[in-house]
Amino acid sequence: MTLSIWRYAHLILAITSFIFLSMASITGSILAFNTIKENTSPNRIHNLKDISLAQVLPVLQNKYLEITELEITENSYIKLQGLDEEGNDVEGYINPLDGKIIGKTEKKSDFIQWVTSFHRSLFLHETGRWIIGINSFLLALIAVSGSILIIKRQKKLSRFFSKIKKSSFSQYYHAVFGRLLLIPIIIISVTGTYLSMERFNFFPKTENKKIQNPTAENEETVKINSKDIPLFKQIKLAEVQKIEFPFSEEPDDFYIIKLKDKEIEVNQFNGSIISQTDYPLTKRWTELSLDLHTGRTHIVWAAVLMISSLYILFFIYSGFTIMWKRRVPKFKNKFSAKESKIILLVGSENGSTFWFAHQVHKQLLAQNQHSYLAELNRYQEFPKAEYLVIFTSTYGLGDAPSNASKFELLLKKHPQNHPLKYCVVGFGSKAYKDYCGFAQVVNTNIRAESWGEPFMKIHTVNDKSPEEFTAWVKEWNKQTLMKLYADSKFYKKVPQGLKKMKVDEIFSPEDSENTFMLRINPGNLKYTSGDLLVVYPDNDEKERYYSIARVDNRIQLSIKYLPGGLASEFLIKRKVGDELNARVMPNTSFHFPDKASKVVLIANGTGIAPFLGMVQQNTHKTETFLYCGFRRETEITSRYKIFLDEQVKNQQLVDYTFCYSRSQEHRYVMDLVRRDTEFFADLLENDGILMICGALQMQAEVEAVLEEIVFEKYAKRIIDYKNKGQILSDCY
């Protein structure tokens, strides 16, 4: 099945059930919190598995004149009903070892009873129970379809818990928390579904199986002490739900003991079993489902259920945020596909490619051209078309965006019946190996069709660049009589949600090999070292990403200055007090590990930036080492050394090593790795963490050396350690 099928299934299920799931999640978290509260009460007895009936019953029978009933509640309270030595009614929670009353029995508060009723039936009686049951089942399907989406995104099942690729806040945490809470959510949904089905008698009724022992009633009636009854020595309080005591000392008056899986009648004189009634499997499954669905038997599980219920609300929020960002811009086509001369088809994952196509579409309509704009998945026969223009981005590793996933099949299904001029415009980022990969596939496939006549070469646009898109516009204007605006300003889209941040310091030494440092005050934004600062130099959609170091509660950047470079030229000209329009993008897959036996940081050039912050934030004093390569020693590397020496002094860094490729020693960071072969081999084999930041070429060279090291020593591959999350990288 294609990715889009599962994505749409996941979305449809969520839309269908989100109102009821929201209400169930809110009430479920309240009930789970109440269960936690009940399980932390002093009335709770914690060692029921160690206490037998033979220990408890003699104590209670000596202390009380009469005992009517003893009940062990789901949350391990022991509730007694009877008469004290003075004949007064007694009801309360007791300590089973001395029989003392330790608490009064209380009904659940009106609020909790209200929440419970609402959670079960929405106050709609049987109809409400049907609705809740169906939505529990839908939640299970949502969890399954979401898991399949993660597997497809990670490419294989074995990588289910591998590093998630960087994406928006909502998309990233939707996937991360979805993986962590998958099992609890499936348990909540499956048990909720089962309890609803059991309520409406979906399962065949099975009668209790009763086994009689007719000789037990006529055995000798000399009463022995309950502490000496062998059966009572075997039964632990943890197995018991309720005990009904004999009302008299008549031979036909028995103990009735209700256990988790059966009910037994016991001769009060000698402890022999008179009858045993085994509960059907459905009753036992119901009890187990109640335990799992409510957390009533274990405080830790109740806490997991509360967290899961709250996060279902987050999943609803983040899921709809993702959907909103991927929405197709709303517009009505003035002309139908059948009558249009110009067909504009779009593949877009988040809507930005659609925005460019729409600008072209509006201009064509203004010239009274019959233009039609739609998704690539709406490809069909276009009987009057003269031009076919494809605007498409690429998703994942060269894959089609969700609204273009059917295009290749539709292309074969609907051949055009006349020659058609076509061109393809691809959108992507050169930071990825599969830059505009799907656009290349589309271009190749149309070129293979007999009716396809390319009138322009495939054109690619990096990083939503208005200038690069304008280059295509200018070529369009040469090839057609339908002129479009050729000024890049027309295609600039102002980004939303930016924050103003003040420049606190700029350090640009003359001998720095064009590297400079910038410190920025982000205000009250939450961030940490390894996150990304997204800068918009022209206040348009041209984004530039910089790894953040959190140093002295400021964002610190190390930036390579490129003369004429859009962002570096803009940033190096800032002065103290100037404001930047930027935003912080969480990059949780590249944060300093909370728990690790040892951490090694490897960087080159400006890749050292996040590591400067990480070592200062290493308050747990994890054993940490830094390796970094530069072209030559400069004033800025000297400043790095002063900072790092301070961290070594504070025991937040064990040691650091710099090397220089253009000095007399002529060494690269990969040479340092090869020099310390044993150190790196032991690091990886003993669950240490290796973090790499800097140039992609450096990363490839370092990993090639590591591949040799671990293969020679342990016959392993680097991918083995990557899959375990031991090698983390953020390279460009």
Cα gap 332→309, rounded to integer Å: 40
pLDDT in tens, 574-597: 999 998 888 888 888 899 998 898
CB 495 within 8 A of CB 538: no
Q: Quick check: 689 pLDDT over 60? A: yes
Same domain for 165 and 298, yes or no, is yes
Torsion sign over Cα 550, 556, 558, 563: positive
Query: So what's the pLDDT on residue 365?
Result: 92
- Total tally of structural domains belonging to the chain: 5
Single residue among 429, 456, 491 that ends a domain in this structure: 491
How much of the chain exceeds pLDDT 70, in percent?
A: 90
pLDDT in tens, 440-496: 999 999 999 999 999 999 999 998 888 999 999 999 999 998 999 988 878 877 677
CATH code, domain with 541: 2.40.30.10
Query: So what's the pLDDT on residue 2?
Result: 45
| Position 330 in a domain | no
- Strand ranges (E), 548-680: 549-551, 554-560, 579-585, 599-604, 624-630, 655-660
| Position 100 in a domain | no
Query: So what's the pLDDT on residue 134?
Result: 86
Query: So what's the pLDDT on residue 135?
Result: 84
46 — pLDDT class (breaks 50, 70, 90):
confident
| Position 163 in a domain | yes
CATH code, domain with 418: 3.40.50.360
Same domain for 146 and 294, yes or no, is yes
pLDDT in tens, 286-302: 889 999 999 888 889 99
Same domain for 304 and 251, yes or no, is no
Q: Quick check: 513 pLDDT over 70? A: no
- Tell me the two tokens of residue 62: 């000596």
Query: So what's the pLDDT on residue 396?
Result: 62
CATH code, domain with 711: 3.40.50.80
Same domain for 51 and 25, yes or no, is no
CB 257 within 8 A of CB 266: yes
152 — pLDDT class (breaks 50, 70, 90):
low
Single residue among 446, 476, 491 that ends a domain in this structure: 491
Tell which wins on pLDDT, 59 or 492: 59
CB 181 within 8 A of CB 307: yes
Same domain for 253 and 127, yes or no, is no
Average pLDDT, the chain: 86
| Position 521 in a domain | yes
| Position 336 in a domain | no
How many CA within 13 A on the CB side of residue 438?
A: 27
Same domain for 554 and 502, yes or no, is yes
| Position 397 in a domain | yes
Q: Which amino acid is located at 50 in the chain?
A: D
Same domain for 529 and 468, yes or no, is no
Same domain for 369 and 443, yes or no, is yes
- In the chain, the largest separation of any two C-alpha atoms, in whole Å, equals 114
E strand or H helix at 284: helix 281-294
- Any bridge partners for residue 559, and if so which? 516
Query: So what's the pLDDT on residue 207?
Result: 62
pLDDT in tens, 310-346: 988 888 887 777 766 655 555 678 999 999 999 999 9
Torsion sign over Cα 59, 61, 67, 69: positive
Same domain for 84 and 230, yes or no, is yes
Q: Quick check: 218 pLDDT over 50? A: yes
Single residue among 491, 511, 544 that ends a domain in this structure: 491
Q: 534 lies in which domain range? A: 498-588
Q: Mean pLDDT over residues 672-676, rounded? A: 95
Same domain for 30 and 170, yes or no, is yes
Q: Out of 90-99, 233-242, 489-498, which region has the weakest mean confidence (pLDDT)?
A: 489-498
Q: Quick check: 3 pLDDT over 50? A: no
Burial of 52 (0-12, 13-18, 19+ CB in 10 A): middle
Same domain for 30 and 51, yes or no, is no
CB 129 within 8 A of CB 199: yes
pTM of the entire predicted model: 0.50
257 — pLDDT class (breaks 50, 70, 90):
very high
Q: Order of strands across the sheet with 532-535?
A: 544-547, 532-535, 579-585, 499-507, 515-521, 554-560, 549-551
Query: So what's the pLDDT on residue 198?
Result: 84
Query: So what's the pLDDT on residue 1?
Result: 38
Q: Mean pLDDT over residues 386-402, rounded? A: 86
pLDDT in tens, 118-146: 888 888 888 888 888 888 888 888 888 77
Query: So what's the pLDDT on residue 357?
Result: 94
Same domain for 14 and 162, yes or no, is yes
Query: So what's the pLDDT on residue 216?
Result: 57
| Position 332 in a domain | no
CB 466 within 8 A of CB 540: yes
Torsion sign over Cα 492, 496, 502, 507: negative
Q: Out of 64-68, 326-330, 728-732, which region has the weakest mean confidence (pLDDT)?
A: 326-330
| Position 105 in a domain | no
Cα gap 18→650, rounded to integer Å: 51
> How many residues are given for the chain?
732
Q: Name the nearest CA neighbour of 609 among 700, 688, 532, 511.
A: 532
